[in-house]
Amino acid sequence: MQPYELTLSAAADAVRTRRLSPVELVESVLERVERAEPHLQAYATVTAEHTRRAARAAEDDLAAGRHRGPLHGIPMGLKDLIDVAGIATSASSRVRAGHRAEASSTVAARLESGGAVLVGKTHTHEFAYGLTTPQTSNAWDTGRVAGGSSGGSAVAVAAGTATFALGTDTGGSIRVPAALNGVVGLKPTYGLVPRHGVTSLSWSLDHVGPITRTVEDAALVLDTLAGHDPRDPASLAVPAARYGPVAGTDLRGLRVGVPRNYYFDHVDPEVESAVRDAIDRLEELGARLVEVEIPMTRYIQATQWGLMVPEATAYHERTLRTVPELYQADVRILLEAGELMPAGDYLRAQRARTLMRREWAAMLRDVDLIAAPSVPATAVEAGQETITWADGTVEGVSDAYVRLSSPANITGVPSLSLPVGHDAAGLPIGMQLLGRPLGERVLLRAGHAYERSRPARGLARAA
Amino acid sequence: LPPDRHAAVAATAHHIHSVVAVLRELDFADTPPAPAYRAEQETHDAAV
C-alpha cells in the first residue's frame, strides 16, 4: 500500500509513531496528483511548492517533539470557495480572475494550526451554484459527472489526490459528490462550523464540512473545524465536544427512522436496494427500525428555492451588473432571474422553514436518526440533463441530485453520507444518516458501526 | 438587462415562480420567519 492510499486515521497513526514522515506522505500524494489530475481535473490550483515546504515544516516540528494532533502532516484539499491567505479563491469562476485572499478563513486557519498540509484548491461548480462540477470527472468513470458543487473535493479524496478535503453544502453540495464518488461527506448542524472567510452561496443555507474516506476520518476533521467564531453570525456558542475517535460497533438501543414517504420515491431500484440492505445491517448491529412520516414534503423544493435564489442573487448583485458575461450561462441566468423574485416569496420561504424545523424536531423526538438514500441515482453521464423515472416522470439531473439532501439544509439538521455499495455499472451508492441538531456523535457512531461491518473500501481507479 | 436576454431570463423566473408559488397554500397564522441571527448571542460574543 502506498502512503497516498492511507485513510486519514491510518496516516495519522503512522506519522505519530514516526513510521511515515509527512514529507513521504506528501510526496506520495503529489505523485498521485501528477498521474491522476490530467484525467480528473479535481484541482483548480495545486500549490506543490507551498505543500512541500509545509511538509518539511511538519517534519521539523515532529523532530523537535511538537506533535499537533491527528492532522499533523496530513495532505488536504480545500474547496476553492475557502480563503487561504495569499492564494486565489477562484470559486472556479472567471469573475474572480486575479483574486488573492488577504487572510485565511476560520476553517483553513484551524486546519493549518492542526498541522494539516494544503495540496491545493479543489474545483467547485461555479460559485457553488450547481450540482455537477462540469470541469471535474467522476473518480470511478471519467465519462460521468463528479457531482457538486464540491466535486473536486470528493473526487480528490476518492482518487487519493488528497487524504481529506473540505466542501461546502447549501442544498447537498458535500453529500451529493461524496455519494457519487464513494466517499464520506458530513454536513454538520447549521452554525457548528464557522463560515468566516468562505464565499457564500446562500447565507441561511450554507454549511462547511469534511469529505473523507471513512466515518472515523470525518470525526477527526470535525474535531478541528467545530467551535464558535463570532465573525460568522450563525455560529453557535455551544460547549466544545469531542467527535473522534469513534468507538464501538454496538447499536443496541438506537432508534433508526425509516421514511415511509419522500426518500424512496423516484429512487433508482439499485440505489433503493443497497440503502435498504444497509438499513438492515444497522438493525443487525442492534438498532431498532421505526417507520417515520417526513413532514411538509410538498414544500421542500419551494422553500429551498425561495431561500437560495434571492440570497444568491443578493451576494452577486454588484458583479452581475458590472461583469455579467464572465459568469457561466447556467449560473448567470439563475442569478438574473433571482432579481425578479418578490420579497413576499422570500418571507414565505423563511416562514415555511420555521414550520418545517418545528415539524422535523417533533419527528426526531421519536427516533435518534433517520436513514435514507443520499441521492436518488448514481453518477449520470457528463452532459446528461434529465433522468426519466419508471413511471415516465422526467426530472432535471440537478433537481434529482438535490431533492433528498436539501431538507437538512432547510432545517439545519446534521447529515452524514457514507458509501453503501455500487450499482451494476460499478458506480458508488450513498446512504445519508440525518440526526437531531448537534447530534453529530450519534450519526458518526452509527456510520462507523456500519462501516466496520463491511470490508474496507479501496480507492477509485478511473485515473 | 440586455434586450436579448429578456425572454430567457423571464422563462427561468417564471419557472422559479411556479415552484415557490406553492408556499401560498400554507396558512402561516402568526409564524415568524426563521431568524438569521440572534441579538443576545452577539451581545454575549461582544463581552467575550
Question: How much is the mean pLDDT over chain A?
Answer: 97
Q: What cell was used for A124?
A: 467547485
Residue A326: which pLDDT band, with cuts at 50, 70 and 90? very high
| pLDDT greater than 80 at residue B38 | no
Q: Using CA coordinates, name the residue in chain B closest to A237.
A: B41
pLDDT score for A463: 82
Q: Which residues of A touch B1 (CB under 8 A)?
A: 336
Contact yes or no for B12 and A336 at CB 8 A: yes
Residue A461: which pLDDT band, with cuts at 50, 70 and 90? confident
Q: Is A202 a catalytic residue?
A: no
Residue B48: which pLDDT band, with cuts at 50, 70 and 90? very low
DSSP string, A31-82: HHHHHHHHHH--EEEE-HHHHHHHHHHHHHHHHTT----TTTT-EEEEETTB
As a whole number of angstroms, the distance between CA A59 and CA A410 comes to: 43
pLDDT score for B1: 86
Interface residue ranges in chain B relative to chain A, Cβ cutoff 8 Å = 1, 5, 8-10, 12-13, 16-17, 19-24, 26, 28, 31-34, 36-37, 41-42, 44-46, 48
Is the distance from CB of A82 to CB of A128 less than 8 angstroms?
no
| A375 closest CA partner among A415, A412, A426, A425 | A415
Contact yes or no for B12 and A337 at CB 8 A: yes
pLDDT score for B47: 40
DSSP state of A194: -
Q: Which of A179-188, A230-239, A357-366 has the lowest mean pLDDT?
A: A230-239
| pLDDT greater than 60 at residue B46 | no
Mean pLDDT, range A437-455, rounded to an integer: 96
pLDDT score for B44: 44
Q: Which of A236-240, A253-257, A283-287, A312-316 has the lowest mean pLDDT?
A: A236-240
pLDDT score for A239: 83
Q: What cell was used for A373?
A: 438514500
As a whole number of angstroms, the distance between CA A360 and CA A435 comes to: 10
Torsion of CA A439, A440, A445, A450, to 10 degrees: 110
* Closest chain A C-alpha to B7 CA, distance in angstroms: 11
Contact yes or no for B34 and A341 at CB 8 A: no
Q: Do the strands A386-388 and A394-396 form a parallel or antiparallel pair, or are they unpaired?
A: antiparallel
Contact yes or no for B33 and A354 at CB 8 A: yes
As a whole number of angstroms, the distance between CA A206 and CA A187 comes to: 10
pLDDT score for A313: 98
| pLDDT greater than 90 at residue B14 | yes
For residue range A96-154, what is the model confidence (pLDDT) as tens digits?
Answer: 999 999 999 999 999 999 999 999 999 999 999 999 999 999 999 999 999 999 999 99
Nearest CB partner across the interface for B23, out of A204, A302, A333: A302
Q: Which residues have a Cβ under 8 Å from the Cβ of A419 and sit 6 or more positions away?
A: A179, A182, A183, A184, A428, A429, A430, A457
Contact yes or no for B32 and A305 at CB 8 A: no
Helices (H) and strands (E) in chain A, counts: 14, 13
Contact yes or no for A353 and B33 at CB 8 A: yes
* Catalytic annotation, pick one of A28, A104, A105, A173: A173
In this prediction, does ipTM exceed 0.90? yes
As a whole number of angstroms, the distance between CA A443 and CA A323 comes to: 43
Is the distance from CB of A15 to CB of A21 less than 8 angstroms?
yes
pLDDT score for B36: 53
| A367 closest CA partner among A418, A306, A443, A280 | A443
pLDDT score for A244: 86
DSSP string, A309-330: HHHHHHHHHHHHHH-GGGS-HH
Q: What percent of chain A has pLDDT over 90?
A: 96
| pLDDT greater than 90 at residue A410 | yes
As a whole number of angstroms, the distance between CA A260 and CA A290 comes to: 10
Question: How much is the mean pLDDT over chain B?
Answer: 83
Work out the end-to-end distance of chain B between its first and last CA atoms, rounded to an integer number of angstroms: 47
State the burial class of residue A276 (Cβ atoms within 10 Å of its Cβ: 0-12, 13-18, 19+): middle
Q: Which residues of B touch A345 (CB under 8 A)?
A: 17, 20-21, 23
Contact yes or no for A230 and B23 at CB 8 A: no
Interface test with B, best of A304, A345, A357, A403 (most B CBs within 10 A): A345
Q: Which residues of A touch B36 (CB under 8 A)?
A: 203-204, 233-234
